[in-house]
Structure 1
């Protein structure tokens, strides 16, 4: 019946003990998260993008998910359009060679990351925190941002705000901070758009008011040097086409005799002493 022949049973052979649940390999999980797309769980393919929460995606997978939202997992439902993701500018790792693992003609270090920090050279393998700047999309380590404090990007020299720093693959408190930063960026964008709209409206009102403003006439702008001629002035009446000197009661006979319309014009035998009349030459 057993236990014969001098065999000594072990405790686990006699007593049933509860098996411990299998634990995940943290290093393998980190390597998977930093090298695979969050939507399709396939290796990341360029162009690589990140959302406001720091998750990594292949842009092709994001476009397919937006076209068919049923394929999006719950972790990516916050992506409504392509404006919710940012293309990343990554620095290739010169020590990484993926072809060796494919051909099998050399040793391939699985811990090597295809990307590094452009400032201090740390590998982006999940052991160190890496950040992406939402303004320009450049990726670098958090240590580089802390050691070289600046308000401009270390790579492209583009200015950024503290709320523009997105921690990639954030967890715990960092994830909560990324959510707050995303809300702050949206609020800042709305307020900026509101200010631009109000400025455009005020400029349009100013231009319309300037267009409605009456222009100053030259006579008024010139001042008293040129007095305005009123219609009641006799000189103004004489400028009309129907005016005749012969019919003007205020004109003298000497003035009227100058013209050929005068009654004495028929008695003239030679040219007039003021005007030249060809009939008498």
Structure 2
């Protein structure tokens, strides 16, 4: 049983990567890897972190600054817990971590900035979803004309992605799409649900819908969204829900089947 006002790594791992995930505040200095979805406050004063929902505070071992920070947040009326055992316990349990080896520098607003081609379809929605859910919840995405991507990248110190240029790190590699590269480069290649999702994205994005059955469905939904939304950011927000659902299916819903009789009451029984 976890200590009072603490959450175990096993329980927290079931909450990451979801739209309703708790805010995870990492207090360690310049970590090279972290729990997916972690945030890094500019101020050491928890009262300046803003008012949010459920918060998990992480330090190295669960006995340091996280304890007092969580207590201060609770005094502000914010539900806050400490990760039991800190990041060390998370890493020792072999749970998913994000590597920052290829993470762009953060801007003054606290987030990384990224730029890609306008009118996204598959990869250019899947990659922002991955970044916001697992790498940097504060990330900002810029959509511009293809010929302007590198110019805007240089002007705004934004990281270019999913563009066919040998100078761009985040792009297709052989048969792999940009989403595949991000999963691997951010150290998430051992997280089975993302590996399953990557196959769906790859099939939909590279005209190989025979890779997995779900690829054709993702392609159809993606093309439909691109016709519904003329604004790229509105399309991104709508697409986030699509990838949230696919990720959750990849994580724990593959075994569930559905047909006309799947949810009918048992014969001879009347539903209440």
Bucket of the pairwise TM-score, normalised by the shorter protein: under 0.3
TM normalised by structure 1 equals 0.22
TM normalised by structure 2 equals 0.22
**Larger RCO (CA within 8 A; separation ≥ 6):** 2
